[in-house]
Structure formats: structure tokens, C-alpha cells
Amino acid sequence: MNPVNAPPHDELCARLRRVLAHIDAHLDGDLRVEALARVAHWSPYHFHRQFAALVGESVGAYVQRRRLRRAAHQLAFRPAVTVLDVALANGYEGPEAFARAFKRCVGQTPTEFRRGPRWEAWRAAFDRDLPRSITVTEEPRLADVRIVELPPRPVAVLVHRGAPHRLGESIRRFIAWRRAHGAPPSRSATFNRFYDDPATVDPAEHRVDLCAAWSGPVEPNAEGVTADTLAGGRYAVLRQVGDGDDVSATARLLYGPWLAQSGERVRDVPLLVERVRFYPEVPAHEAVTDVYLPIE
């Protein structure tokens, strides 16, 4: 059995979650085995082996990959930050060592990646399937579902249609538009509308809307952003705390057990997700994502 997919004991899982959260919150700090073993309250000897058994790679490999993941986000989505600054911010003494490590991981140099990321290589390098019991800080529960009434909300929208691993291309365009129009996440709430489950549709037909709160018209633009309105009405909302890249399990909890027990019926509008706090603005374990199921 693959150790990554084996369900760990609750205590081991809690310790490992604490270590992974510490790593994400201290990527600039001391992340040697001895320091992380103290966080886990294990001896370095046992910690090194237990970590590899549960995560599927060594402590050193995991730490380097998390630093390179943050570096990749900075290169792709923060064009004002120089490659040298990205290298130094992620623990490399200079651009040469950073370029070698980055190319081994992603298959492109940092400069090549910044100019034109190969998103499939990004996904292969950074999207590892760790158990939700590790990546989700607080597992959503049926008892936490709330019913709310939302007003219609005007937004600026960029439609992504195509394979999920190419979403980064659309995100880059949307960030460029938001930056040019003074609508960063700190000022303008961030939403996604999901029209389908990417696991069950042809990748070419997969659609996600990238949305930012926006009042007023949206002038024609090269990025393809348009004005729209998020549907108001009743929603069942469930909060996910922890890595927000994948909300499918939380959505399944709403569509399945909660809907069956509640007696509610789904409205014919897309599933709505609000990115309340998200990576890399906060460490992955501190991400907060609200999933809204439209109901009648």
C-alpha cells in the first residue's frame, strides 16, 4: 500500500499536521530534521522515518518542494518580484543554485517559467495527494452547515474553460487585470463559480469562473474580463480550513449527506466558493474557503 494513502493514527496525524503547518509558516526558518522533530515531540531518529512513511518523501525533499512551490507562485503571479529576490526569499544564497534546483523540479529555469509556465509540469511537481486528514486543518462537519441569504453581488469575471491543470494561465490574466484596476484580494473579495466536476467531464468542457467583487462597468480588455452578477438567494454554506486548492470533498458533503438529511432542493445556479484567505497570502494550513450550495 502506498504510505501516502494509508490512513494514519489520529495522534500521528495530529503531530504531522502540526509539523506541516510549522513548515509552511516558517519556510524562511530552521527546518532541519532536529528542529522539526522537536515540533513533533519525536526523537530525530523516529521522526525522520515516521515522516517519510506518512508523507511519501524525506523531510529534506518535502521542505525543498514547499519552498520551490512558493517560489513558483511568486514567479508566476508576482511579476514585480525579481528572480534574485525570489531565490533569496526561499533559502537560496544566489540565483545559480536556485535555478538548478528549480529546473530539476519543474523542468524550466526560473526565467523560462516566469515567461511561460508549463502548467502540466507544475501540477506534476507540486500537486501531491496527501490525505485530507493532514492537509485540511479542520474537517468540515454536517453540524457546521449554515443557511444564509445572500444579495446579488456585482463582480468582474474571467471564464476559464479547459483542463484544470491550465487554470494557472487564466489566474495570471485575472491577476494582471485586478492589479491594473486596483482590485487586489485585500480590497476586492475573491470568488469562484464551479459549473461541473472536473473528474466527470471532458477536460475541454470544464468551466470555472474567476470572480472579484466589482461595482460598475468593465471596459473591454485584453484579458477577457467582463462584468457579471453572482446570484443572490438562499445558500447552504460550509467552511473549509486548510489547503483550499481542492474543495471537492466539502462540496460532496453538501451535495450528498447534508442535502439528503436537510430536505432542501438545489437551485439551478453554479456552486459558489469564496476564497476568504488563500495561499500564498497565508500559509496553506491557514487558508479559509467557504463553499456555498445554492438551495431553493
pLDDT, residue 125, reads: 87
* Predicted local distance difference test score (pLDDT) of residue 2: 41
DSSP for residue 30: -
Q: What pLDDT shows up at residue 153?
A: 97
* Predicted local confidence at residue 1, as pLDDT: 36
Domain with CATH 1.10.10.60 in the chain: 10-133
> Going by CATH, does the domain composed of 136-294 fall within 3.40.630.10?
no
- 252: helix, strand or coil: helix
What is the reported pLDDT for 13?
A: 76
- What's the confidence (pLDDT) of residue 131? 59
Spell out the per-residue pLDDT of the chain, length 296, in tens.
Answer: 344 443 345 777 788 888 988 998 888 888 999 999 999 888 888 888 888 888 888 999 999 999 999 999 999 999 999 999 999 989 898 899 999 999 999 999 999 999 999 988 888 888 765 655 566 666 778 899 999 999 999 999 999 999 988 999 999 999 999 999 999 999 999 999 999 988 888 988 999 999 999 998 999 999 999 999 999 999 999 999 887 778 888 999 999 999 999 999 999 999 999 999 988 888 888 899 999 999 99
User: What was the pLDDT predicted at 76?
Assistant: 93
Predicted pLDDT of residue 293: 98
Q: Which residue from 37, 10, 43, 13 is spatially nearest to 23, judged by alpha carbons?
A: 37
DSSP string over 214-225: --S-----TT--
Kindly give the residue spans of alpha helices, DSSP state H, lying in 41-109: 44-55, 59-77, 83-89, 95-106
Instruction: Write the CATH number of the domain with boundaries 10-133.
Output: 1.10.10.60
Give me the pLDDT at residue 281, please.
84
pLDDT at 138: 64
Task: Outline which parts of the chain fall under CATH 3.20.80.10.
Answer: 136-294
Return the H-helix or E-strand segment holding 236.
strand 233-242
123-159 burial, b for 16+ CB within 10 Å, e for fewer? eebbeeebbeebbbbeebeeeebeeeeeeebebbbbb
